[in-house]
Amino acid sequence: MIIGNKDFKDHTYIMGILNVTPDSFSDGGRYSDLDSALKHAEEMIQQGADVIDIGGESTRPGYTHICTDEEIQRVCPVIEMIKQNFDVPISIDTYHHDTAEAAIKSGADMINDIWGLRYDSGEMAATAARYGVPVCLTHNRKEPVYTDFLSDVVKDLSKSTDIAIKAGISRDKLMIDPGIGFAKSYEQNLMLTGSLEVLDKLKMPVLLGTSRKSMIGLALDLPSDQRIEGTIVTTVFAVQKGCLFVRVHDIKENKRAIIMTEKLMGKV
């Protein structure tokens, strides 16, 4: 899969999280000014991040919605600054098509949409198609009501894929994310993370995003700043199940876990 000027294949790569928000569940307010955001991006790149995912609106449970103008003001200067200083692909973490378009014009190479192109009436899909950028389609629902949980997740992601293709986005520009933490119970999050092979039938690259999430906190009874080990275990699962990306906060530790797992699997 090509993102920006980089070709990603046959390996598990790291998408580093850069939240330029005051209220994200794990790092809210830490990187909301340009200098700290740029410094953190540099640290993540040095530690092995392959893509930087920039978000301007928290998507934690109970998050506060902001207007797209504010979201754009938060993310675009950071994108521009990182692009001026580093050769790294940038993903924009948004479900608003106006923000996505502004971010792409500022240098973003990819859209990471937590609603899998299903938040609006097709505007996000049209934006991605118009600019020819890759899209990560995340599983989400307005109500966490399922008939057959794992099967329903696959069906929902298939619908997102259909929306993308009908809008003119080529299949080789699509990646799927099972959406751990979105419209799922603790037990469902555990089940899905442990059953990533159910996504194989969609025949698309997979991104797993579990970093510091409540599933890990509940399993280990730990606050968000003490969930590195739990996150690493899910990263090992991701490598074993053939995920193309993991989306994480703690780059160095997860990078080492990927290298070790792939060596044990004989992949490097």
Query: Of 184, 213, 241, 255, which is the active-site residue?
Result: 213
Task: Clarify whether 171 is annotated catalytic.
Answer: no
> Which residue, among 96, 153, 86, has the nearest Cα to 128 in the 3D structure?
96
Catalytic residue among 118, 212, 247, 255: 247
d(CA 88, CA 90): 6
Give the neighbor-by-neighbor strand order of the sheet with 51-55. 174-177, 135-138, 110-113, 90-93, 51-55, 13-19, 245-248, 207-208
- In the chain, at which residue ranges do the beta strands (DSSP E only) sit? 2-3, 6-7, 13-19, 51-55, 90-93, 110-113, 135-138, 174-177, 207-208, 245-248
SS3 state of residue 54: strand
For residue 169, which phi and psi values (nearest 5 degrees)? -85, 125
What is the torsional sign of CA 185, 258, 58, 160? negative
213 is catalytic: yes
Q: What are the residue numbers of the active site?
A: 213, 247
